[in-house]
């Protein structure tokens, strides 16, 4: 039996030196040390040995098992290093190769324009107010001095959810909510998305963006409005920009005006952009109607205010020379990469 054990040791160590992969190593381990392996089979015959022979053969068997286990560990380390070296050879990293330049994202022209408008008014001490896009008919119309059956409702081309809920047609409801919740002095701008049932063309869309402004305090005058709009126009279109006000009518302001800026393309001399007039309309404005102040719980005998509203798309088209509003919504990367 001693000779058989020594033969197993020699045979196993010889085979271990020739092992070339982990699967062969596992198979060899099972064939020699497994429950049905060579060493286990020999040891089952120890019952036939005498009492004097058993300790001697037991010691030899332990030595053989230890030698095999040590050989298996060394073989596993050798194979592991070989696998790692092979992997390193196949995954050579050339540190001299140029890196891949990741394209950086850019702001959409509408976002850039809105951010610029926000910065201008924040610099003048305004706060930003927001409200829901699905709005009560009352806040969208009645609180703004536009009662039911008023002809101004027809010009809004409203999307109705039901008789009392609409998709807001302007961000003026945000002003109503703010005046109802705050006491003057108030100085806010209300940027946001609005909806009107317009056919899509180069200058119209059923979904567009507005920024409206509101100031309510004691002693606010039309002169304050003009000064504010002049500062805004110069901030957006340049220091040489001029504005002019033309009388108009809005139910929620009195007096009301449409506001033009000197053409950004020709400076006022006349060109294709301004259709030869030298002026481009950009917003509507006026002094807040006393009925609107009263509806919001503000005494018009004590407080006065002005409001204005402008379309972000129109400002963006003017700033960047875009002649078709649809380009702002088509997500054409050839167009967007220009900004």
Task: List, in sequence order, every residue forming a beta bridge with 167; answer none if it has no partner.
Answer: 134, 159
Q: How far apart are CA 79 and CA 100, in angstroms?
A: 36
Res 201: pLDDT: 86
Res 305: pLDDT: 97
**Closest CA relative to residue 65, chosen from 37, 98, 106, 105:** 37
User: Radius of gyration over alpha carbons of the chain, in Å?
Assistant: 42
Dihedral sign, Cα of residue 215, residue 220, residue 223, residue 224: negative
Q: Does residue 239 surpass a pLDDT of 80? A: yes
Q: Helices 2-17 and 22-33 sit at what angle, rounded to 10 degrees?
A: 180
Hey, what's the torsion of the CAs at 315, 317, 320, 324, to 10 degrees? 170
25 versus 174: the higher-pLDDT residue is 174
Percent of the chain with pLDDT over 90: 46
CA 114 to chain centre: 16
* Per-residue pLDDT tens digits for 63-116: 877 888 888 888 888 888 888 888 877 877 777 888 888 878 888 999 999 999
The stretch 172-199 carries a mean pLDDT of 95
Res 230: pLDDT: 95
Placement of tokens 């220009």 in the chain = 338
* Per-residue pLDDT tens digits for 226-237: 999 999 999 998
Res 46: pLDDT: 67
Res 6: pLDDT: 76
Q: Residue 198 to residues 154, 250, 257: CA-CA distances in angstroms?
A: 12, 20, 23
Res 194: pLDDT: 95
pTM: 0.68
Which of 1-5, 98-102, 207-211, 297-301 shows the lowest per-residue confidence on average (mean pLDDT)? 1-5
List own/partner pairs for 238-246 with CB under 8 A and 24 or more apart: 238/264, 240/267, 242/268, 244/279, 245/285
Per-position b or e across 141-170, b if 16+ CB within 10 A of its CB: bebbbbeeeeeebeebebeeeeeeebbbbb
Res 20: pLDDT: 81
Res 70: pLDDT: 85
The stretch 170-174 carries a mean pLDDT of 96
Res 291: pLDDT: 95
* Per-residue pLDDT tens digits for 269-281: 888 777 888 898 8
Other residues' Cβ atoms within 10 Å of the Cβ of residue 21:
11
Task: Assign 123 a pLDDT band (cuts: 50, 70, 90).
Answer: very high
205's tokens: 């869309």
* Per-residue pLDDT tens digits for 25-60: 888 888 777 777 777 776 666 666 677 776 777 777
Task: List, in sequence order, every residue forming a beta bridge with 231; answer none if it has no partner.
Answer: none
Res 47: pLDDT: 63
| Helix, strand and coil percent figures for the chain, each rounded to 5 | 45, 20, 35
Res 155: pLDDT: 60
Beta strands in 2-66 (DSSP E): none
CA angle 140, 145, 148 (to 5 degrees): 70
Burial of 101 (0-12, 13-18, 19+ CB in 10 A): exposed
The stretch 186-206 carries a mean pLDDT of 91
Q: Does residue 133 surpass a pLDDT of 80? A: yes
Percent of the chain with pLDDT over 70: 95
């Amino acid at each position: 039996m001693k000779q058989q054990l020594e033969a197993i040791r020699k045979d196993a160590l010889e085979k271990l030196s020739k092992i070339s992969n982990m699967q062969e190593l596992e198979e060899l381990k099972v064939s020699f040390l497994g429950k049905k392996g060579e060493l286990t089979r020999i040891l089952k015959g120890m019952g036939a040995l005498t009492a004097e022979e058993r300790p001697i053969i037991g010691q030899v068997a332990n030595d053989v098992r230890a030698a095999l286990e040590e050989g298996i560990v060394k073989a596993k380390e050798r194979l592991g290093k070989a696998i790692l070296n092979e992997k390193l050879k196949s995954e050579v990293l050339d540190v001299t190769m140029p890196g891949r330049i990741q394209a950086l994202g850019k702001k959409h022209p509408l976002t850039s324009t809105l951010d610029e408008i926000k910065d201008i008014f924040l610099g003048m001490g305004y706060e930003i107010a927001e409200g829901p896009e699905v709005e009560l008919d009352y806040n969208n119309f009645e609180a703004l001095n536009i009662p039911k059956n008023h002809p101004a409702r027809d010009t809004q081309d409203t999307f109705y959810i039901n008789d009392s809920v609409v998709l807001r047609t302007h961000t003026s409801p945000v002003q109503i909510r703010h005046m109802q919740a705050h006491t003057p002095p108030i100085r806010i701008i209300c940027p946001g998305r609005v909806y009107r049932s317009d056919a899509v063309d180069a200058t119209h869309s059923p979904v567009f963006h507005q920024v409206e402004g509101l100031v309510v305090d004691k002693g606010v005058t039309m002169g304050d409005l003009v000064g504010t709009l002049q500062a805004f126009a110069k901030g957006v279109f340049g220091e040489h920009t001029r504005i002019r006000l033309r009388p108009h009518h809005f139910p929620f302001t009195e007096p009301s005006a449409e506001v033009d800026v000197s053409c950004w393309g020709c400076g006022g001399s006349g060109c294709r952009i301004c259709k030869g007039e030298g002026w481009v309309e950009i917003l509507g404005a006026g002094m807040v109607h006393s009925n609107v102040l009263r509806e919001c719980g503000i005494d018009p005998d004590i407080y006065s205010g002005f409001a204005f509203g402008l379309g972000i798309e129109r400002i963006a088209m003017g700033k960047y020379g875009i002649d078709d509003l649809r380009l702002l919504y088509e997500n054409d990367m050839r167009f967007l990469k220009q900004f």
